[in-house]
Amino acid sequence: MLGISDIKKGKTVVLDAQPFLVMSADFMRKQKGRPVVRSVLKNVKTGQSKEHTFMQSDKVEEADIEREKYQFLYEQNDDWIFMNPVSYEQIILDEEEVGAATKFLLEGQDVELMMFDGQAITVDLPIKIDRKVIVAPPGIKGDTSTNVMKEVEIEGRAKVKAPLFIKEGDVIRIDTRTGEYVEKA
């Protein structure tokens, strides 16, 4: 159990039977009042944030979150099938559990699954991934006074804004947290 002095940024706690990541924690003590910790918590399952104030007498349980390596196999009827490369155990996740990672998953790709109480709750992709450009409209010359971007389609059918010089067949690097173009690979 964690007391208020143990609640710090980066810790994962269980609140209302849900795992939360502590995004910020500010220790406050008023003149004659009791000390409190005002925090911003992000639900690991849903991604929603909320503010919570921990009182001096509050005790919270630290969430036991494990990260396990899995391989994405395929998608079938809005179910996403992953396999543990060591035990060959397969896990089926729905589109809500996979979340924003659906745009960037390719068959055979290695990912990390976050496990809470023996169940997969989210899919973690590498921060930067390389993808081949499938469809890229031609860039218009002369429109280069500012940082002009065009929409290209990459493997996995995701659409990303990229600079005008990117052509079909180019491999580009994408930030999976924001879905933005980073550089040409």
Enumerate residue ranges in the chain where pLDDT < 50: none
Q: Are strands 79-83 and 65-76 parallel, antiparallel or unpaired?
A: antiparallel
pLDDT digits (tens, 9 = 90+) for 148-162: 888 999 988 789 999
Residue 133: its pLDDT value, please?
A: 92
Predicted local confidence at residue 145, as pLDDT = 63
Q: Which of 65, 47, 56, 72 is nearest to 11 (CA)?
A: 65
Q: Supply the pLDDT for residue 142.
A: 64
Q: Please give the helix or strand (H or E) that residue 95 lies within, else none.
A: helix 95-98
Complete domains list, the chain, with CATH: 4-62 (2.30.30.30), 65-124 (2.40.50.140), 128-184 (2.40.50.140)
Supply the pLDDT for residue 114. 86
CA dihedral of residues 71, 74, 77, 80 (deg, nearest 10): 10
